[in-house]
Amino acid sequence: MQETLAAMPPLSPAVSLLQAGDAAGAREFLIRHSEASAQHAFLLGACAHALDQIEEAIRSFTCALQRNPAHAPAASALGSLYAGLGRHQEAEALFRQSLTRVDDAQLRFNLAVILENTGRPAEALNEYSELIRRGEHYGARHNRAGLLVRDNRLSEAAEDYRVLVQHQPRHTRPWQSLGELELGLGHYEAAIALLNTVLQREPENGKAMFSLAIALAANGEIDSSRKIFSRLHSVDNARWAEARARLNHLRGHDAGIDPRLIFLLRQQEHLRACNWRHWPLYGDIFSDFIRNPGNGETTGLAYISMGAPINAQEQQLLARHIGAQIQRRTRAFLHAASAAPQRLRVAYAATRFGHHVTGLLFRHFFAAHDLQAVDVFILSLGPDDASTNIKTIRNTPGINWVDLSLVSDEEAASRIKALNLDIVVDLAVYNDKPRPEVLASRPAPIQVSWQGAAYSSGAPWIDYVISDAIVSPGPDWCSEAEVTLPGCYFVCSTEDAPPVVPVRESLGLPADKFVFACLNICSKIEPEIFSCWMRILKAAPDSVLWLLASSTAHIMNLRREAEWRGIDPQRLLFASRVTPAEHIARQGAADLFLDTRYFNGHTTTAESLWAGTPALTCPGATFASRVGASLVRSCKLDELVVSSWQHYEEKALELYRDREQLAALRRRLVETRTQAPSFNMKQQATHMEKAYRHMRERFAQGLAPAAFRVADLEN
């Protein structure tokens, strides 16, 4: 209103008094110098507003508009008062009517604000954009940026903030907003520079300090982040405590804030988009955290450890730390040794049995049990998504479905205890929105980890882990007693017959090129394996690489990485999301599946083999990096399990050049896949029943869990 007031010289004494904050003096002047003008009524309204006499202000502004319906300042002021009183419809109507009389920027801005505040962001965005089109407008650009952020159009919002920073360098707020936005976009150096500028101007700005500490941590500047968090603790303890609570989340109890944890969790967002800028630092900080773990919420690190460049012993140390955090919060039931029953009561527990890999892999397994030997329970710890998988499992004859999704962990554990189970098999452990506190309460005397977690649980409440001779990383990799299944530990439910493979053209694949494929989730792809693949493509010019599309950022990053390695980015082809059945079938259209390094394809490798495409893999030092080898060997394709990454490249190129050898492998796979243990539900169920019986008999004898091979047990 200052500029509007200053533009009215005839009544300048009143304007000067208002600008000096003397509204009472200004009103006295106006009363002494009365005139029947719109401007006089408007200034009286401004005085009344400043004196908090709202009704008087409304009357004066209304009078001004009666005297001059095109008086934009009066319309803006009156409409703003209406809005402040919650009379939004009247305010909007007034702004729209006034704009038909005078095209005023402030009126249009106020209209946009009303539209935004009444839940019409698209209309507000149009009005802000129109204002900016007509000439630079600070408020319109700032508000538009905020709307773009809410609409997740972050790059556009960032551009608006950059314009504000350039054109209005003295305004600190755009610098801070842009800094926080750059932080959200993962542009950490830019965020750090902007937020440092904010703190130079406003050293006590706790919000900027918090964002700067996060940006430094996310950028791997751990010591600098610690210093800023320490400063925040002194300046804005409430905000610091909020940050600490967020990092402690459900299970943490850290007295401070560990920037390493922020870095590791933030990196997952980047790895999901194949942004590998901090990959070497990622491995270093992960290992450092495992050696000296913080006490923030660490459960989420268990899953991401499978794809990290760390070894099985480090994974187990991390898992033990997580297990200790969880056990600290729970009280365990006690179970006295008792004779093994004729018919064992066995339960399978998971949070996701529906449209998820657990439901997909196990949907036909439960029906393969001998219900004369085993009474089977399904403990559903998560919501029912009404998917085909969950319906298949729930409708399996003889299966006892127990829905525990809506009860507390303590209540769930009590209900499981009341079932008098012999064994609970955990199909999730720390993955998939886990509820580990339920089994940490030890509701069953014997508890087993199988397939859902390709790592040692490190949990005192998990007695056994299911493995096989190939997938096992070797001695001392797990805290549990290792149970070795014959052939392969993995279970992959399939239909009765392998799928019919669609023609390549229908999948967007070239009919005349060699198709290397890896339809794993993109977070399993890291720079070392990608460089390996690019060397293969370079040596195999008549080939393409087929990958699973995840996001625009993921596709752009991989194409850029390919170009940096001298490969035409158009040779990378991307498959979109389809139904599980379509996804399995299309994998048969590839020539050769290329496995990933640290975190193999598990479900994807099994699906590729079932669809008829051979898989090339190189087993590593962890359980998760050896699953591919177990699956491939179970299909009698031993020559595709290689001992080094150099051999991996050589074998891929050998098969590219020797199509007869590849065709022979495909023919062999057609014969072996239907007999492979992973796809033979009845055989796997029989092995597991034998294992369960042995576990239960040891418990009956008062013996501690001990490793054993199922093949060594008597029938």
Q: Residue 496 pLDDT > 90, yes or no?
A: no
Tokens, residue 213: 């500490």
pTM score over 0.75: yes
Cα separation, 180 vs 81, in Å, equals 32
What is the pLDDT at residue 9?
55
Q: Residue 699 pLDDT > 70, yes or no?
A: yes
Q: Residue 16 pLDDT > 80, yes or no?
A: yes
On whether the CB atoms of residues 302 and 430 are closer than 8 A, the answer is: yes
Is the dihedral angle over the CA atoms 410, 412, 413, 419 positive or is it negative?
Answer: positive
On whether the CB atoms of residues 205 and 177 are closer than 8 A, the answer is: no
Q: Residue 1 pLDDT > 60, yes or no?
A: no
For residues 466-480, give the mean pLDDT.
96
Chain segment 52-77, per-residue pLDDT in tens: 999 999 999 999 999 999 999 999 99
Mean pLDDT of the chain: 94
Q: Residue 248 pLDDT > 90, yes or no?
A: no
- Lowest-confidence segment of 157-161, 262-266, 270-274, 373-377 by average pLDDT: 157-161
Q: Residue 7 pLDDT > 50, yes or no?
A: no
Question: Which domains are seen in the chain, by residue range?
Answer: 2-176 (1.25.40.10), 216-327 (no CATH), 344-485 (3.40.50.11380), 504-675 (3.40.50.2000)
On whether the CB atoms of residues 223 and 189 are closer than 8 A, the answer is: no
Cα separation, 192 vs 640, in Å, equals 47
Q: What DSSP element (H or E) covers 6?
A: helix 2-6
For residues 529-542, give the mean pLDDT.
98
Whose CA is closest to 606, among 449, 489, 516, 485?
489
C-alpha angle 595/599/602, rounded to 5°? 65
How many Cβ atoms sit within 10 Å of the Cβ of residue 29?
A: 19
What is the pLDDT at residue 195?
97
Q: Residue 3 pLDDT > 80, yes or no?
A: no
Q: Residue 2 pLDDT > 80, yes or no?
A: no
Tokens, residue 301: 């690190």
Q: What DSSP element (H or E) covers 193?
A: helix 188-201
What is the pLDDT at residue 230?
96
Q: Residue 412 pLDDT > 70, yes or no?
A: yes
Using left for φ > 0, alpha for ψ between -120 and 50, and beta otherwise, residue 119 falls in: left
Q: Residue 691 pLDDT > 50, yes or no?
A: yes
pLDDT over 70, % of the chain: 98
Cα separation, 312 vs 322, in Å, equals 15
pLDDT over 90, % of the chain: 84
pLDDT band of residue 191 (cuts 50, 70, 90) is: very high
Cα separation, 287 vs 175, in Å, equals 36
Chain segment 548-569, per-residue pLDDT in tens: 998 999 999 999 999 999 999 9
Chain segment 197-217, per-residue pLDDT in tens: 999 999 999 999 999 999 999
Chain segment 107-130, per-residue pLDDT in tens: 999 999 999 999 999 999 999 999
The residue written with tokens 């993995």 in the block is 490
Chain segment 335-356, per-residue pLDDT in tens: 999 999 999 999 999 999 988 8
Q: Residue 715 pLDDT > 90, yes or no?
A: no
What is the pLDDT at residue 100?
92
pLDDT band of residue 6 (cuts 50, 70, 90) is: very low
pLDDT band of residue 386 (cuts 50, 70, 90) is: confident
C-alpha angle 549/550/553, rounded to 5°? 105
